[in-house]
Every structure is written in structure tokens, then in C-alpha cells.
Structure 1
Amino acid sequence: MTGFSTHNEFHQRHIGPREDDLAGMLQLLGYDSLDALIQHVIPPSIADSSVLPDSDGVSEAAALAEIRQIADRNLPLRSYIGQGYYGTHTPAPILRNLLENPAWYTAYTPYQPEISQGRLEALLNFQTLISDLTALPIANASLLDEATAAAEAMTFCKRLSKNKASQQFFASQHCHPQTLDILRTRAEPLGLEVVIGDENTLQDTSAYFGALLQYPASNGDIIDHRALIERFHASGALVAMAADLLALTLLCAPGELGADVALGSAQRFGVPLGFGGPHAAYFATHERFKRDIPGRLVGVSVDRFGQPALRLAMQTREQHIRREKATSNICTAQVLLANIASMYAVYHGPRGLTAIARRVHGLTCVLASGLGQLGYAVEQSHFFDTLSLHTGAATQRLHDTAFAADINLRVIDAEHLGISLDETTREADVQKLWQVFAEGQPLPAFIKHASAASCLPAALRRQSAILQHPVFNRYHSETELMRYLRKLADKDLALDRSMIPLGSCTMKLNAASEMIPVTWSAFADLHPFAPSEQTAGYQQLTRELEAMLCAATGYDAVSLQPNAGSQGEYAGLLAIRAYHHSRGDKQRDICLIPQSAHGTNPATASMAGMRVVVVACDARGNVDLADLSAKAQELREHLAAIMITYPSTHGVFEEEIRQICDIVHTNGGQVYIDGANMNAMVGLCAPGQFGGDVSHLNLHKTFCIPHGGGGPGVGPIGVKAHLAPFLPGHSHALSRREGAVSAAPYGSASILPITWMYMRMMGGKGLKRASELAIVNANYIARRLEEHYPVLYTGANGLVAHECIIDVRPFKESSGISVDDIAKRLIDYGFHAPTMSFPVASTLMIEPTESESRAELDRFCDAMIAIRAEIRAVEQGQLNDLDNPLKNAPHTAQELAGDWQHAYSREQAVFPVASLIDGKYWPPVGRVDNVYGDRNLQCACPAIEAYQD
């Protein structure tokens, strides 16, 4: 016997259909083999473009052992670097019941509010938390990180400032350095100038449309900015303040100081450092600016029974509506991380948060007093948790001494060191810091300084109450919090309950073995600016993952920095722009975009300083080659790029993709291939080999990072060699020092182990198999449904790629049934709706992914067929055209138990198929009134009086 075969290969667990299922599915599709089907889907012109090795994956146990060895190369020492990143304790019930719970992390963005009430409530809590602490009435449901939130604030100020002529934005030199870097990156393509200076000596404010101040400052100072803000306002400028949330429990709020915007990070509210992310940023502003706030906004509306119900308000999918005129290309949030932060506040409550802040501040006061006794002058007279010291010629020596004691200090410059304390700091840590600076002197007596007076300025000590809402004052025992989290999760429909067939969003399995390393201390507790000697594990992980992604895409280099698909798009276009400029082609500023493109594409092009020209699509949904050729030739002197999604947004492999690339290249442009649909290509064809110059990849789609209820995501870019010099840089850790698009060098680094695990366990063979089965599953659904719903677009052989679009528009005329009615009726059948009205209005785009079994595909198809029968009953007059199960969907348990007034039975309403009896999902609310929610915008928890009523 030469060896033993194994029967637990990971790809067999990841992929849904079994071999006998596959045979039956292929038979229905009319193919005798998988290879034969794939040959009829992938255009022959690109079928030989894949460069993915035909390699085997490793078992889950082997992969976990490998990544454990990688993690052990990291050295998460005690870091006092600060600079916007702090140690924190993730409460165990939040860690277990939220962060590690698939009911929370496998959910999708809450576009269907009736099945998202749990996470919407958690996000409303987050918005309330932010509004309370900042004293600004409107807060969004989070942004990507503090630095990019600051960049959003800059463009926000530009749009709304009264000083319309100005192109200059003032940024305090006391802002975090990574924030200043992002501001410079974002400003340059827009023709804006970031002026960095000392606000304490600023004389003339009239030249600026806006300003950014850090509160407390990055070096620790706490300055009263009220007079300066008034001067900016008098000049017509708006003022944003980047504020520390924990400090705001003790300090006057930005809104009380006159700021127009408050922004920052919620990381220190229970979210691990994670080498820089993912973390939830926040953004808050005044009521009058509510229609210009970037990102997502949760609002309170009512359902069809008049009961309160939550929904995304106003700007849902703004990019698809306003396209290049969108206020931002940010189309998501950091939902999972915002929910952790909100639950951290719920668990601790106002007293607990204030106690944590006082403890951190008290220890910092003690530290400062002891350092003074040791002969070091603290440069701040007022501070919260951060000190800067003039250490002169001793700077390097002290840094080395600290390093030898397993301590990281912040090296501000050659003569200054910084120290930031946090929630995890203990008295013993303060004494160990003194020991570093004592250099043989006797240590100060800790107890003598334990009652040190507050080092906060009297005029800025907070007087207003915080977090008075009942939600922040009830769930303080673990029992109560555990039940609250369970109650919210039970309201939602996530992948742990059923298939989520969203087209373009690729809701596939997020395997438990992939998720396990994320919360290991060696990955979770590393500061993003830790010295490189301590980050060898992350360096190896990112190096290996970059190589894996290059092999999967056919590109020559990859940057993992972009922390969302939108940021990946932006980084890709910036690379193209920089490449043209390096060749002296600064006039190249036209971006061609097909009319079917994702809405983020034109918004991103506009942010990158490009002008958008739309290219027509033909009747089959493909790029109109004649129109493309004519426009490329007409604009050849100014052509910068084309942005094209492949397979197309219509769910087909366009036969002429190489020709499209050739046309653009011939006319001097670069080809950006949106990787949103990469799940149909891995191992079958490679964009970097059939004409692409750059692609962004959605690791939260194709490569298994969970959607987290609407975030986190990772959107790295792959590029050909000529664009590699223009990948995002970072002042801390990368060879290129400028051009950062995210605050941390590797963006959302702590979730990269998920993709590493997926690719390592699948191997080249498994990754190819996943793409093949994604195509099989989509075609199986299309074939089963085509007799009941027209499939709108197919390829040359009547097949789709990994998704299909079904046309429900005719039903509006024949029965009065709309796409919304079908989507809401699917909830009664226990399903999330497919993607609605994109890319074609009043259609449904379905993507099953390779992870769904044939049984689940059949369950979905049976539901869609049953719904078609209900529509037919309306068409034929067997069901009332106004009072029918579709118009009234979804049906709640409360309605079922009430006085039934409908012309159809209770059973037809809630148990339309027998399989639901065994596992019924009950929506917590009826259909939500979108119009009411926008007309009566409320974006925080109801006032205490509402609870009393």
C-alpha cells in the first residue's frame, strides 16, 4: 500500500452539489460532462488564459497548522503607539455571540429591511451612540476608517461651504499622519490643495473652504477650538473635527464646540487592533446637511400596520442613481464592526464607558507625574491618554530600551517620543514604562500619585449627559446581553438560515475553518505601525496571499491595501492616472463606462479626476463595439481608461472582450476590469492575461470574506507590471511612501487570513471547481425558471455565466404585481430576494454561488415557481388584484394571530409550501413604508418619552 486517500478535502465541503446531483443538473442542461458545459460558456478566445496552477489544496487541519506557524511569527508586544489605534477588550459575550456568530457575520447589506431588523437596530444604536457623544443629530451607519472618513469630510465641506471660490482645505498638523496622507491622495485628482499648518498660529482663515482639527491632537494636546471655529465660520468655511470617542465621554462634544462635522474611529470600543482593520469609522453632522452625509443612514419608518420599522434611508444605492454625480463612491459600511462598537456601548452603558475613560485618563496623569519626577518634561499641560516627550539625544536609546522590554513607543521624530495608554493598561504597565525612562533612577511611588488631579482643561470638561436611552441602560449583565443579541439575530435572515441569491454580490459559504484565525491574538492584537521586526507573520501572509491572487488573476502585482471594493476601484484608477502622468499624458482624463456598469464605477472615475463618457450596450447587454470604437477613436488624445465588468453586469461572458481591450489599447487607454464577477473566472480565464491592465477583487465576494451585514470588505487591486510602481503606498511600511488609499498599510489586514485559508485549502483545482459549479448552479436555476420567467440575457450558446437576470416587468401590466411584490413574497418562503432592478429596472438578478446544494437550489426554484402560480391566479381573477399574498407580503406572526380579513387563507399566506412547516422564518415587521421614512427622517433611537408612552 503506497498511501491512503482522504475523503475530507475542503473543496468537497465548500461546494454544495454532490457528484450525483451534478450529473442530474448537467442532464437537465443537456450536457454529458462538466467540461462540455464550460466550453460552451467561456469564449474560446479567452479559454486558454488562466495561469492558475493545477494544484491540490490541503486539509482544514493542515491549513490551520500552517497559518498558526505564520501567526506565531508575529510579536504582539505592548504597544503605546496610539495614533488612532488602541488596545481594547472585546467583551467575551460580544466576541462569541456577535463577532464569531454566523447569524451576524454572514448577513448581507440590509437592502431588504423586513429581514434585517436586528442588525438595523444594532446600527441605529451605533448612530445614537455617535450622535450622543458628538452632540450632532445625524450620524451615519459607519465608514471605512478614520482617515477616509476625513477625506469624505473634506469633499463634504467643499460641496457645502459658502466659500465657493476656494480650492484650499486647512488640515491641522496635529492630525494623525495617516489622515494627512489620505487627504493629500484624495485632494490631488480633484484639484484641491491641502494646506497643513498649526491652527494655534493660524491668522487668516478666509482662504479655505473647510478645515480639519484633531481632538485631542495626535500628540496628546487638548485645545479649545471654539474661537477658531467661529473664525472659520465667519469666512464661510465648514469645520470638521476628528474626535476620540472614549475621550468624548469626558470632554465637551464637537457639536458643543461649533463643529459642522465630527468623525473618527470606533475601534477602541471593543474592536481588535487587527494590524489596522477592519474598524468602523463614524461621521456625524447637523440636520441641515442630512442629504449630503456620505455612506449609509439607518432611519425609523413604519410598516404597513403602522408599527415602527427600520430601513436604510435616503441614500441607499445612491451611486446607482446619481452615478458620476454621486457625493461619494462609498456604497457600504463597516457594519459588523459598527455593531461590535454599538454593543460595547450597550454592554458598558454610560457609567461603564465613563469609568473606562476616567481610568485611562487617571493612569495617564499618574504616568505624566512620574515621568516629571524622572526629569522628562511632558509637552502637554492638558491631555486625555497621550503624552509627547522631548527626549532629545536620548530618543533612540530610550526607544531601544523600551523595545528590549517588549514595549513599543511612538517615535514622533528624532527628538520626541509619544506614549498612548488605553483600556488594557494596568498599574504594572505604568511602572514598567517608568522603568524604561528611569535608566537606573529610583522609580516614583505609584500610590503617591494615584489621586493625581484631572489633566483635562476645566473649560472643556463635559457637562452634558450621554447615552440616556434605555438600550444603553439595561443590558449590563451577560445574561441580558446574550439574550438581546439572540433576539436581534432571530429577526434577520442570513446565510446560516438560507440561500441568499443576490446577483453581483456572491453570498457564498464563509467556512468556520477560515474564520478561526481572525481572533487569534497574534493576528488580532498587533498595532498597524508596530516595527517590522514584530510583523514577520503578517509580512509572510500578505506576501503569500498576493502571490495566490496574482496566480488567480494573471496579474503581476497586487496591493492588499484597499479596504473595500469602492477603494479598490479608486486605487485602480489612480494607478492608471499616475501611469499616464508619468509618461507626460496629463491630458488623458476620459473614462469610458458601459451604461450597464455598477454605479460605483462612474462615481469612482469622477473622484479620480476623470470625465465619464458612457458607452452603449446592445440588445443582448453586451458593449456596443461600434459605439465603443467610435468614441475611443474620437477621444483618443484624451482617453485614459475603460471600466468594464467581466463577465458583464448582465451575467454573460462577452465574446468580444479581447477586441474591447484591443480597441482601448490601440487608442492609448488602459483597461480596468471590475472584478465583482470574478467568481465565474478563477481557474477558467484570467483578466490579466486577456487584456486587463488592472482589476479590483472583492475578497468579500469571490474569496470568502463574509459580508458582515454590509461590511467589512477588502478590495485589493491586481495590476500588470507597468502599473506596479503606482500601487498604493504608505508612509509607514511600504516602499512607496505616498498614494495611500487607506489609513493602514494593509487595510483590513486581520481578515486576510480568511482568504489565505480559503485559497490554501481549495488549491488551484478546488478554485477552478468552484468557478465551474458557480456556472452550473446559475444555469440550473435559469433552466428551471425559464418556462416561468423570461431569462433576459444569455451568451452565444444560450447559457449564462454565474448569474442570470429574470424579467418580471410584464407582470406589472398583466396583474399589477411588481418586482417589489415578488421580493417581499419571497420572504414568506424563507428567502432573501435576488438583486432588484439592477442592472435593468424591475428585474431580478440571481446568483446562487457554488456553495449551494441542489436541494437548496430546488427549494428556491420551487418558491419562484409557486410565486409565478400566484401571479397567474391574479391574472386569471382567482386572487384579488389588490388583496392577494404578493401585495400583502411579507406576513407576520402577529397578523396571522389577529383578525384575518384577507380573501386568501392564513395557510396560503404563511405556509405556501409544506417544507416551511418544519422551519418557518417569521419576519418581525410587515412591508416597510420607504416614502414615510424619508419624509419623516429619524436616525437615532426614539427619545425616552417614546418609551414611556
Structure 2
Amino acid sequence: MRTDSFALRHIGPRESNLQSMLDTIGVDSLEQLIYETIPDDIRLKSPLNLPSALSENQYAEHIGKLSAKNKVFKTYIGLGYHQGILPAVIQRNVLENPGWYTAYTPYQAEIAQGRLEALLNFQTMVSDLTGMEIANASLLDESTAAAEAMGLLFAVRDRKQKKNDVNKFFVSEETLPQTIELIKTRANFMGIDLVIGNHKEFDFNEKFFGALVQYPGKHGQIYDYKDFVANCKDADIKVAVAADILSLVKLQAPGELGVDVVVGTTQRFGIPLGYGGPHAAYFATKEAYKRNLPGRIIGVTKDLDDNHALRMALQTREQHIKRDRATSNICTAQVLLAVMAGMYAVYHGPKGLKYIADTVHFSAVTLAEELKKMGIEQLNSAYFDTLKVKADAEKIKTEAEKNEINFYYPDAETVCISLNETTTREDINAILQVFATVSNKNSANIESLVEEEAIPSALKRETEFLTHEVFNMYHSETELMRYIKKLERKDLSLNHSMISLGSCTMKLNAASEMLPLSNPQWGNIHPFVPIEQAEGYQIVLKKLEDQLTEITGFAATSLQPNSGAQGEYAGLMTIRAYHEANGEKHRNICLIPSSAHGTNPASAVMAGMKVVVTKASENGNIDVDDLREKAEKHKDNLAAIMVTYPSTHGVFESAIKEITQIIHDNGGQVYMDGANMNAQVGLTNPGVIGADVCHLNLHKTFAIPHGGGGPGVGPICVAEQLKPFLPGNPLIKTGGDKAIGPISSAPWGSSLVCLISYGYITMLGTKGLQKATEYAILNANYVKERLSEHYKTLYSGERGRAAHEMILDCRPFKENGIEVVDIAKRLIDYGFHAPTVSFPVAGTMMIEPTESESKAELDRFCDALISIKQEILDLENEEDNVLKNAPHTIGMLTANDWKFSYSRQKAAYPLDFVAENKFWPSVRRVDEAYGDRNLMCTCPPIEEYMEV
């Protein structure tokens, strides 16, 4: 046994298990299984051209050497990114804890009460600081959140505005430059006419439906927007504010001005810079707009025993339901980062945040006064943490970089300095010395901060915030550690058992891949530092791009999209740009199979395309005749097809090359959804299949952990003709020669977690990657065959094989009074997270075991499902049974009264293995409808718990 082989540790089944698994499946070899699964005409003819695999120890040395190439200067660039302090108790117990980072999106509320509570804390924090009525559980970054705000305000126009085609949106020129450019990208195909200018000169005419302002402005000036907002309200123009969340500790909450939406980032609440991400954006609005709010909302409800419980509220907003009627394609939040930011607020509480905000502000005031004494002009009349200094930018830059300091230089005569939580008196003195040296003057050595304010009294915050007890209880490390652990115990994550979610690829997130994330050489790099200071990052990101380009068989890769949905949008936008460059701007028809994930049509609509749905055949595959008919019908305007491969039904469709050729013959491009890439790597690829662009879910195939619903990364890989259109950035050169606008705030998106995928590929190498794919297919087909006598697999390939996932038909059990959701909840009693339920077919379960699970774990899972099938057959009472009452809590099992006809043992320990590692859900089945009728999305007062 090669103990230095990462593949040995990543792949679950042992070599000794292989033959018995193959025997169960009914094949002689793994090669035969792959032959029967993947059409021969799309198999790769040669192995991937990647370097040999590194061992975990070799990789640790390698990534350590690369980290040393990053130059961690004292950075005061600002522009929405500020170095902060991640409390060690949060780093160790959340960021580095697989109980938190391996959890899945909390669709199964009963096994997610811990992270749901953490997200409710986050929403409460955001609502309190912004002064708004409702907040969601995070978005991707500030710029995309601002674009979502524009989309919401466009969607909620009144009937008169829609009738009169009111489509102008004003953006203040004080908005962050990356936000302005991203909004331009979004507005282009949404039918929105963007106007960028000075808010003081804004013409409040009837053609505007909305406006966006920055608070404070991009260079630090705090503006009083009271009159602006009042005038907008008089003109029926709705207002969004992009606000720095730490400044809201000291500034009047935007909600008090009557604005409609407040967005921003919580990065400076203890989240590493990470060269751009991941960071949790926030989005807060009025309750009247709750059904247009993008992303997810956590709400309070009750369970079957009327106990307090939490769940994702208003789930009909989810994009797989709204599809082409969706106002957003958001399907990924930044849950892990939102949990961390929320815990930062819990740990510090209102007094702690006031101390931090005061210290940052007093540092800025002290620096401004000392610069003034030196005769250096500071231009901001009111500011929180950022000074706008009149100086020779080139000379200051030269001297600052000699002293390992970064400022922001918007023009040749301006230097912006954004101070932060880490800024010390010594840092202020070092800044002063830079200016003193350049101006040939002496600088004072400050020994204490000036406790004066540069915030007008009319703009100061007067209202309290974070008054709920959760923000006022856990201020010692012991108490916070125990609180985090209490929440963790309520959640079922990969460190407990397999999470077999179809289409979601919940695979091992190896510790050796995760460890570099804690290294400050990676964590403390601002996304807009001079590129030579990020040499380590540049090497890793370029290598990762090359690895993904090779794996997909394409010509180039962009890592910028920071979620799968963003990748879909970015891929379609490159196609639009390509057609436009060819003088075919009119091509706007996107064909989408009826089985597609709901973000597909939502993304197409956002990219300005018209969706035409193609039929599926009886076996679940794309109906090629219907596709050909519609492609030919729309050949003059056909832009693209969006196809998932293998299909969402878990099948390698043999007609895929015919399908891609039909699209090309009719002038379109082929977009391949990379959600199921885990069944392709090393065996086939999108390039061979005939695609032109695909997005990849790095949080699926390439081992970035789901983190409870994010972070995710959705890079796009493109063929040669689309390479010039890869997305750019206004501050750092990225993308192609004819780059579309930015897709996310940072030039390379969520760079920090890209280290994970780089590690995954580098340690597996060519052979390991292929083996991982083969074992993903092996595990899926093993599960399929073990369950074949008990559950019907809805779709299979032409030779009867599944790809890396399968759909089990649970609809026949309706005759016994059992719904698929009852099976999902009963699995919790066996210690398992339910598979994907009712997608893509209602009444079914989609199972994907991944290559990481051992044969023993697969057997336990199969034994659980077989046992549940027998429980269904043994039912005597349609209501009083183990499935309808599942899951069973410890409170039920230890109560004096047992009101059920079956035994406590059957409820809690249906199979022997369950007793060895019992997971206890903290609530019974939640009441979804009650929560939506009584929507509460912030921490309720203690009296509410008593009433429930």
C-alpha cells in the first residue's frame, strides 16, 4: 500500500472491495463498466497531459514555497476590501472545522438547525445595522449584490411604470468602480438604460425607476442622502444603497432614510481578504419585496410538537421552480462566510463593534490631522475610515512600496488611504513617514489616537443595534466555543455520514487541500494589489486555469465567476459577445431541454436570450427530432443550446455529438453545464463532445467544500473562438482581448478557495483523476444494483448503466400513503442526509455517492433504504407509522408517554449500525406553511420562544 498516494486517501473503496462490487454490478472489470457507461465515440484517445501527482507532504512543501512568493504589504487600498482580524476561536471552530465546511445547503431543515440559526444571526445582524425589515442569508459579493438590487427594483416597478416602459437606472459615480462595470454588464441585456453621474446633479424625471448610491463614497466621502432619497420618493424612484457594514456602526442606518434596498459585503467582519474572496455579501430590503428577494431567506417556524424551529423560507423563490420567470439565477449563497461574519458579530457584540469602529475612525482622524500639520491637504469633509489626499501619486507610490505599503491612486494627484481593524499607531507613523519623506518634511511620532470625529452630527447613528441576547452572551472564548459546538451538534455533515445528493457531488474535502486557507500569506492579499505582489497567487491561478483547460479539452479558462450560476451567465455572455462580434447580434434564441436545472433558463433570460424548451423522450434523453425541428425553425436567430452532460437524469446520452452538430449547423454555440463533470474527468470532455463553453462547479467535481450552501466557484472554459471574450475587470487586466464586463467583484473571483481545487488536481495527477471518475461511476452503479430489487431506477443508459448518479422512483409508494419526503425524513433516523428529492422528477430521489465513499458506507446506505422499503410494505396505519412521524428526536424517545403504535427501538435504532453512530435531529418535522404564513427572518425575542 502506497502510503504517500493521495488517491489512496481520496477514493473510498479499497482494491480488495473492487471484485465484489464488480460482481454485484455484473461486469468482469472496471474497464468493462466504463465501456458500458460512456459512448465509445466520445472517449478520450489519450490520457490527460498533466504533471505527475504529488504526495500530500510534497504538496504541502510546494504550496508553502508558492505562498512565500506573495508579498504581504500593509494595504490601505479599500474599494470594498479591508484587512480584518479573524478571531482564532472562529478560525479553529468554523473555518477549519469539517462539521461546518462540509455541510450541504439546508434543504433538510431537521438536520440543519445549527447552521440555520447561525444564518438567522447573520440576517439579524444585517437587518439591525442597515435598518431594513428583511435580509437574506448572503449573496456572492458586493458588486453582484448591487446588480441584484437593480434587478429587484426593475422587477417591482408599478403597473404605470411598466406600461410606460420606465427603464432608466441611475448609478452614482461615487460607486465602487468594479460595481459600476458589473452593473453595466448586467444592464446590457436586461432592457435597462444605465445613467452614471453625480447624485447632486440628478434629474428626478419620470423615466427613472431606481438609483444606486455608495455610503460612504468610493474615496471615503460621506454624503448626506436625505434630500436625494426624499426627492426620489417624490418622483416614484426607488433607491438602493451600497453601504460599508462597519461604518454603519457609526453612521445613520440607510433604512431610516426610507431607502428600498441596502447591499454590501461583510468581508471586514473577520473574513480573510484571500485575493478577492470568498466573502459573504449582504442584501436587505423591505418586507413588501420579500418575494423578489434574491437568494435564500432563513425563517422561523415550528415543528410537529409546536417547538421553535428554523427552515429556508419562501422556497418557491428557488430558481429551479421559477425557471425562465426568475428575476435572478442566484442558487449559491456564501453560507460558510456568512456564518463566520455572524459569529464575528456574536463574539464582539454591539460594544465590541463600537470599539472596533471607533478605533478605525479615530485612526483615520488622527492620520488626517497629522497630514494637515505637515501641510498636506485631505479632501474629504466627512469620512469614516478613508482619506482622500492631494499628493503626487507616483512619488508616494514609489516611496510607499519601498516601505511595503499599498495605497490606492485614482489619478496622478490623488492618494486614497483606507484604514482598517488591523491598523496600529505604528502603522499610522509609517504612513506619515512616507509622506514626510516625499515632501521633505518632518512627521510627528504619534503615541495615542485623537478621539475626535469627522462625521456630521446629522449623519451619526442614534439607534441601537444587535440588542438580541445572542449578540450579548458569548464574549469569552469558552462561551463562543461552546455555542459554536452546540450549533454544530444540530447539523449532519460529511464528517458524520455520506451525503448522497444527486447533482451536488458531496465528496471528500481533504484536509491537505484545506490547510493552506489558514496561511496569512494567502489570506492577507488584497485583490487590487500590484500584480507583482501576488506572484504566488498568479502562479497557482495560471496553473489551475491550464489544468482545467486541459481537463475540459478547451483553449482557455476564466476563474472569475464565483458560483455555478455565475458561470452559466458568464458562458452565455461570451456566446452573446461572439455573435455580436460576428455581426449577428440578433441571435438570441437559447434551446434548453425540459430536464435542465432551473438556473439554466434563468441565466439565459439574464443574458438577454429567449428560452425555447425542447422535449425529452420517454427514456429521459433529449428528443433529437424535436431538437432538430426547433433548431432549424430558429436557425436565423439561434444563439445557443444549454445541455447538461451526462444528463440531469444520470445518463450518458449517445446522441450528444449529433446534438452538438445540429446546433453548429444552424449557427448556434453549445453551452455545456458542468454540474456532472465528475463523470467525465479523464474519460471524456466537453471539447470532444463538441461543446464551445462549459462552466465547472469547483465546489462539486474539484473538491471545494459546500460550506452549508457556499462558497462555490464556477469558472468557464471556452473554445478558441470564445477566448477573446472572457470576462475582464476595470482595475486589474484579466480576460480576453475583447473581454466582456466583469462577472464578479474581484479579478479572479474567489481566489482563496481555488487553492483547494489546485491541490486536488495536483495531488491526484492524471491517473488519480481518471481513477476518481471511474470509481464515482463504480459506486453509483453498485448502489443502483444493490437497490434494484427494491427501487426502480427511472433512467439508464443504453446498456443499462448509470453515470455517476441515478434517479430512484418513489412514486409507487403513494399507494401506501407514503411520499418521497417521508422516505427523506426517515433516512435521518438512520443517520443519513436525504438524497436530492423531487428533482428533476417529482416524487423521486436522485442519488450520487461520489468516489469518496467506501463500500462499507455504501452498504450501510443501501441497507437503510432497503429497510425503509420493508417498513413501507409493513405499514398498517397510514398516519401512525415510523415514516410519517420521522424524524424522531431524543425528546420523543425519552418522554414519559409514548403515543405511537411502534416501539421506541424501531423509531430510533432500526438497524444495528445506527446505534454505533446515532445522529439525533434537534427538531421534529418542520411546518413549512406555518413559517411562510408568519414570516419572521430575524432572531425573535425570548418571548416568542415561550409562545411557541
Residues 181-330 of structure 1 aligned to structure 2 (within 5 Å): 181-315=181-315, 318-330=318-330
Aligned-partner Cα distance in 1 for 2:167–2:133 = 28
How many angstroms does 1:66 deviate by? Answer: 1.0
Q: Which amino acid aligns with 1:765?
A: K
Aligned-partner Cα distance in 2 for 1:377–1:888 = 71
Choose from 118, 126, 131 the match for 1:130: 126
Q: Which amino acid aligns with 2:66?
A: I
- Identity among equivalent positions (%) equals 55
1:619 to 2:621 alignment: no
How many angstroms does 1:193 deviate by? Answer: 2.0
Choose from 71, 76, 94 the match for 2:90: 94
Aligned-partner Cα distance in 1 for 2:7–2:194 = 50
Aligned-partner Cα distance in 2 for 1:204–1:329 = 31
How many angstroms does 1:202 deviate by? Answer: 2.1
Residues 469-480 of structure 1 aligned to structure 2 (within 5 Å): 469-480=468-479
Residues 618-637 of structure 1 aligned to structure 2 (within 5 Å): 618-637=617-636
Report the 3-state secondary structure (helix = DSSP H, G, I; strand = E; otherwise coil) of the residue aligned with 1:546. helix
Residues 342-381 of structure 1 aligned to structure 2 (within 5 Å): 342-381=342-381
Aligned-partner Cα distance in 1 for 2:630–2:674 = 24
Specify the alignment match of 1:523 in structure 2: 522
Aligned-partner Cα distance in 1 for 2:746–2:452 = 35
Contact 2:139–2:281 (8 Å) recurs in 1 = yes
Contact 1:645–1:673 (8 Å) recurs in 2 = yes
Report the 3-state secondary structure (helix = DSSP H, G, I; strand = E; otherwise coil) of the residue aligned with 1:446. coil
Q: Which amino acid aligns with 1:71?
A: S
Specify the alignment match of 2:771 in structure 1: 769
Specify the alignment match of 2:646 in structure 1: 647
Deviation digits for residues 648-683 of structure 1 (CA, Å, limit 9, x no counterpart): 000010000000000000000000010000000000
Specify the alignment match of 1:169 in structure 2: 169
Contact 2:725–2:740 (8 Å) recurs in 1 = no
Specify the alignment match of 2:397 in structure 1: 399
Aligned-partner Cα distance in 2 for 1:241–1:768 = 48
Choose from 16, 19, 32 the match for 1:23: 19
Report the 3-state secondary structure (helix = DSSP H, G, I; strand = E; otherwise coil) of the residue aligned with 1:190. coil
Deviation digits for residues 145-189 of structure 1 (CA, Å, limit 9, x no counterpart): 000000000011111134432221100110111110110010001
Aligned-partner Cα distance in 1 for 2:316–2:273 = 30
How many angstroms does 1:201 deviate by? Answer: 2.4
More divergent stretch after superposition (55-64 vs 284-293): 55-64
Aligned-partner Cα distance in 1 for 2:874–2:942 = 47
Aligned-partner Cα distance in 2 for 1:484–1:7 = 38
Contact 2:328–2:602 (8 Å) recurs in 1 = yes
Aligned-partner Cα distance in 2 for 1:36–1:450 = 73
How many angstroms does 1:70 deviate by? Answer: 1.3
1:939 to 2:941 alignment: no
Report the 3-state secondary structure (helix = DSSP H, G, I; strand = E; otherwise coil) of the residue aligned with 1:53. coil
Deviation digits for residues 592-641 of structure 1 (CA, Å, limit 9, x no counterpart): 00000011000000000000000000011100000000000010001000
Specify the alignment match of 1:725 in structure 2: 724
Report the 3-state secondary structure (helix = DSSP H, G, I; strand = E; otherwise coil) of the residue aligned with 2:189. helix
Specify the alignment match of 1:33 in structure 2: 29
Choose from 909, 915, 923 the match for 1:911: 909
Aligned-partner Cα distance in 2 for 1:934–1:946 = 16
Specify the alignment match of 2:594 in structure 1: 595
User: For structure 2, which runs of at least 5 residues remain unmatched after alignment?
Assistant: none
Specify the alignment match of 1:886 in structure 2: 883
Contact 2:47–2:766 (8 Å) recurs in 1 = no
Report the 3-state secondary structure (helix = DSSP H, G, I; strand = E; otherwise coil) of the residue aligned with 1:688. helix
How many angstroms does 1:789 deviate by? Answer: 0.6
Aligned-partner Cα distance in 2 for 1:802–1:288 = 43
Q: 1:54 to 1:731 in 2, by over 3 A?
A: closer
Deviation digits for residues 571-596 of structure 1 (CA, Å, limit 9, x no counterpart): 00000000000000111000000000
Specify the alignment match of 1:863 in structure 2: 864
Residues 692-703 of structure 1 aligned to structure 2 (within 5 Å): 692-703=691-702
Deviation digits for residues 285-319 of structure 1 (CA, Å, limit 9, x no counterpart): 11111111110000001100011110001035621
Q: 1:807 to 1:735 in 2, by over 3 A?
A: closer
TM-score (norm 1): 0.98
Contact 1:51–1:686 (8 Å) recurs in 2 = no
Aligned-partner Cα distance in 2 for 1:450–1:662 = 69
How many angstroms does 1:417 deviate by? Answer: 0.9
Q: Which amino acid aligns with 2:342?
A: S
Specify the alignment match of 1:434 in structure 2: 432
Choose from 922, 925, 928 the match for 1:927: 925
Q: 1:276 to 1:53 in 2, by over 3 A?
A: same
Aligned-partner Cα distance in 2 for 1:552–1:893 = 48
1:828 to 2:829 alignment: yes
Q: 1:55 to 1:797 in 2, by over 3 A?
A: farther
Residues 764-803 of structure 1 aligned to structure 2 (within 5 Å): 764-803=766-805
Q: How many residues align?
A: 937
Q: Which amino acid aligns with 2:755?
A: P
Contact 1:558–1:719 (8 Å) recurs in 2 = yes
Specify the alignment match of 1:502 in structure 2: 501
Specify the alignment match of 1:716 in structure 2: 715
Report the 3-state secondary structure (helix = DSSP H, G, I; strand = E; otherwise coil) of the residue aligned with 2:717. strand
Report the 3-state secondary structure (helix = DSSP H, G, I; strand = E; otherwise coil) of the residue aligned with 1:941. coil
How many angstroms does 1:946 deviate by? Answer: 3.5
Aligned-partner Cα distance in 2 for 1:191–1:917 = 59
Contact 2:291–2:317 (8 Å) recurs in 1 = no
Q: Which amino acid aligns with 1:787?
A: E
Aligned-partner Cα distance in 2 for 1:914–1:348 = 45
Aligned-partner Cα distance in 2 for 1:144–1:387 = 28
More divergent stretch after superposition (42-51 vs 497-506): 42-51
TM-score (norm 2): 0.98
Q: Which amino acid aligns with 1:882?
A: E
Contact 1:884–1:903 (8 Å) recurs in 2 = yes
Contact 2:365–2:450 (8 Å) recurs in 1 = no
Q: Which amino acid aligns with 1:75?
A: K
Aligned-partner Cα distance in 1 for 2:945–2:881 = 35
Report the 3-state secondary structure (helix = DSSP H, G, I; strand = E; otherwise coil) of the residue aligned with 2:684. coil
Contact 1:55–1:765 (8 Å) recurs in 2 = no
Report the 3-state secondary structure (helix = DSSP H, G, I; strand = E; otherwise coil) of the residue aligned with 1:196. strand
How many angstroms does 1:6 deviate by? Answer: 4.0
How many angstroms does 1:191 deviate by? Answer: 2.4
How many angstroms does 1:54 deviate by? Answer: 7.1
Contact 1:79–1:407 (8 Å) recurs in 2 = yes
Report the 3-state secondary structure (helix = DSSP H, G, I; strand = E; otherwise coil) of the residue aligned with 1:222. coil
How many angstroms does 1:49 deviate by? Answer: 5.6
How many angstroms does 1:207 deviate by? Answer: 3.0
Aligned-partner Cα distance in 1 for 2:21–2:910 = 26
Contact 1:390–1:417 (8 Å) recurs in 2 = yes
Aligned-partner Cα distance in 2 for 1:435–1:919 = 61
Q: Which amino acid aligns with 1:795?
A: G
Aligned-partner Cα distance in 1 for 2:197–2:142 = 20
Specify the alignment match of 1:854 in structure 2: 855
How many angstroms does 1:204 deviate by? Answer: 3.2
Q: 1:41 to 1:107 in 2, by over 3 A?
A: same
How many angstroms does 1:69 deviate by? Answer: 1.4
Deviation digits for residues 707-749 of structure 1 (CA, Å, limit 9, x no counterpart): 0000000000000010000111112222456511000000000
Specify the alignment match of 1:143 in structure 2: 139
Aligned-partner Cα distance in 2 for 1:445–1:58 = 50
Aligned-partner Cα distance in 2 for 1:495–1:619 = 35
More divergent stretch after superposition (44-53 vs 852-861): 44-53
Contact 1:574–1:608 (8 Å) recurs in 2 = yes
Aligned-partner Cα distance in 2 for 1:663–1:335 = 41
Contact 2:300–2:935 (8 Å) recurs in 1 = yes
Q: Which amino acid aligns with 2:56?
A: E
Aligned-partner Cα distance in 2 for 1:918–1:51 = 43
Aligned-partner Cα distance in 2 for 1:115–1:145 = 28
Report the 3-state secondary structure (helix = DSSP H, G, I; strand = E; otherwise coil) of the residue aligned with 1:269. coil
Q: 1:6 to 1:832 in 2, by over 3 A?
A: closer
